[in-house]
Amino acid sequence: MKRINYDKLLMIPGPTMVSSEVLNTMAYPIIGHRTKEFGALLEDTVEKMKKVFITKGDVYIITGSGTAVMDMAIANTVNKGDKVLTICNGNFGERFSKIVEVYKGEVIKLEYSWGKGARPEDVKRILEENPDIKAVTVVHNETSTGVRNPIKDIGKIVKDYDALYIVDTISSLGGDYVDVDGFHIDICIAGSQKCLGAPPGISAISISEKAWDVINSTESKSFYLDIKAYRDRFESKKESPYTPAVSLIYALNKALDRVLEEGLENRVKRHERMARATVTGLEAMGIELFAEEWARSITVTSAIYPHGIEDKEFRKILSNKYNVVIAGGQGQVSGKIFRIGHMGEVKEIHILGTLAAIEMAFKELGYNTSGGVDAAKEILER
């Protein structure tokens, strides 16, 4: 295998940096996935996941990326011809629409320009116009644009209708405030590799009683992602129906320990502080932010390239010369914006190092700027 540079600072919107404490658990001996030992591990992981979701509902751990649980949410609730309102203001909101189309649902898109946040009043209007909508989907933290959608306020609206409320918190759970039961979320999904600070490849899904009523009357269109199979196996034997990623569950369990030890409130405050420092630093450099102010994410910041800066060359310098990895834009904003992930295990030194590298890379490409690090330090020193 070609040698990989393991020394790079990973400041993308996932996967994120993983602590050595979490990584070391993956060296534990493999145990049989049909044993009491694994059952105890899985049950413990589920209970910790419930605390992070803040739910009394059912939670299942799925071997697969976040897209697997997006797929699961739709495959188990949508029949051919069912209307689904999908809130689309970025790449992952669009992904929900594509999944609904795969399962032959009727997509009703609520679209916004990328960089704009969703408006709860628009959701209410469409639900009033379409009382037969079966589900509403929204991405809490749209990493493709750096936008945070107001899932609490949207939940207050959806709860008064028959529609299920399906929320993607893949890049927010464990970093931003999510209260599944308090926000009236019927199906909530999360991924391991973002704010939770675990390796990629595993995901989680929570199911409310209202969601179970719909699932029980809907024929699943998937074998591997049939949520009823996960329910039945977990309830009867504390197992998953198919071979799970044992080592990843070790890691997720330890990562959840770290989340709960820090405390959800403290963790959100830390992410807010890292976001403020990043935003303040970029603005001090004269960089225009992409997401509108009221809807800015606290786990990823998006910014518009100054005129004349070429995306790939800029990120190449950051990676090869300064060992800092950030993300470019996706879809319609590819080459126009860059994105800095500040989630999971991120600390002050990571923010300051990233901003310093960005300043130096910009100067190398002819955009003379400074002051970003000093401005960020003022935020972090408070």
Is 1 among the domain residues?
A: no
Q: What is the pLDDT of residues 292-343, one digit of tens each?
A: 999 999 999 999 999 999 999 999 999 999 999 999 999 999 999 999 999 9
What pLDDT, on the 0 to 100 scale, is given for residue 239?
97
In a shared domain, residues 141 and 178 = yes
Task: Examine the domain organization and report whether 201 and 300 are in the same domain.
Answer: no
Helix (H) or strand (E) holding 40: helix 36-53
**What is the percentage of the chain residues whose pLDDT exceeds 90?**
97
- Taking only the tens place, the pLDDT of each residue in 4-48 is 767 899 999 999 999 999 999 999 999 999 999 999 999 999 999
Q: Are 354 and 256 found together in one domain? A: no
Domain extent for 127: 20-261
pLDDT at site 86: 98
Domain C-terminal end among 212, 245, 261: 261
How do residues 258-270 score in pLDDT, each as one tens digit? Answer: 999 999 999 999 9
What number of other Cβ atoms are within 10 A of residue 364's Cβ? 13
Beta strands per DSSP E along 169-234: 187-191, 202-207
Give exposure, 169-203, as e/b (b: 16+ Cβ within 10 Å): bbbbbbbbbbbbeebbbbbbbbbbbbbbbbbbbbb
**Burial status of residue 160 (CB atoms within 10 A of its CB: 0-12, 13-18, 19 or more):** exposed
Does 1 have pLDDT greater than 80? no
Q: Is residue 309 part of a domain?
A: yes
pLDDT at 79: 97
Question: What percent of the chain is modeled with pLDDT above 70?
Answer: 99
Confidence of residue 87 (pLDDT cuts 50, 70, 90): very high
Judged on CB neighbours under 10 Å (0-12, 13-18, 19+), 153 is: middle
CB half-sphere exposure, 373, CA atoms < 13 A? 13
Same domain (yes/no): 74, 182: yes
Q: What mean pLDDT is predicted for residues 76-103?
A: 98
CATH of the domain at 353: 3.90.1150.10
The encoded tokens of residue 186 equal 């019927």
- pLDDT on residue 3: 73
Tokens 């719909």 belong to residue: 214
* 27 found inside a domain: yes
Indicate whether 42 and 168 sit together in one domain.
yes
Confirm whether pTM is higher than 0.85. yes
Angle between helices 264-284 and 372-380 (to 10 degrees): 150
CA neighbor of 46 nearest in space, from 36, 55, 37: 55
Q: How many domains does the chain have?
A: 2
Q: Is the pLDDT of residue 254 over 80?
A: yes
Task: Point out the domain boundary residue: 261, 284, 318.
Answer: 261
User: Phi/psi at 150 (nearest 5 deg)?
Assistant: -80, 75
Residue-level pLDDT at 381:
94
Say yes or no: 246 and 304 in one domain.
no
Same structural domain, 54 and 172: yes
Residue 2 lies in a domain: no
CATH code for the domain in which residue 114 is found: 3.40.640.10
Are 208 and 307 members of one domain? Answer: no
CA dist 207 and 189 (Å) reads 9
Residue 263 falls in which region: left (phi positive, over 0), alpha (psi -120 to 50) or beta: left
Residue 3 lies in a domain: no
**Phi and psi, residue 189, nearest 5°:** -125, 150
pLDDT confidence band for 382 (50 / 70 / 90): confident
Let me know if residue 202 belongs to a domain. Answer: yes
Q: Are residues 186 and 278 in the same domain?
A: no
Determine, yes or no, domain membership for 171: yes
Mark whether 244 and 287 lie in a shared domain: no
Q: Are residue 63 and residue 144 in the same domain, yes or no?
A: yes
| Mean pLDDT estimate for the chain | 97
Question: Do 343 and 321 belong to one domain?
Answer: yes
pLDDT of residue 370: 93
Position 4 in a domain: no
What is the rounded distance in angstroms from the CA atom of residue 36 to the CA atom of residue 131?
A: 47
pLDDT in tens, 351-380: 999 999 999 999 999 999 999 999 999 999
Which one of 261, 281, 305 terminates a domain?
A: 261
Tell me the pLDDT tens digit for each residue of 108-149.
999 999 999 999 999 999 999 999 999 999 999 999 999 999
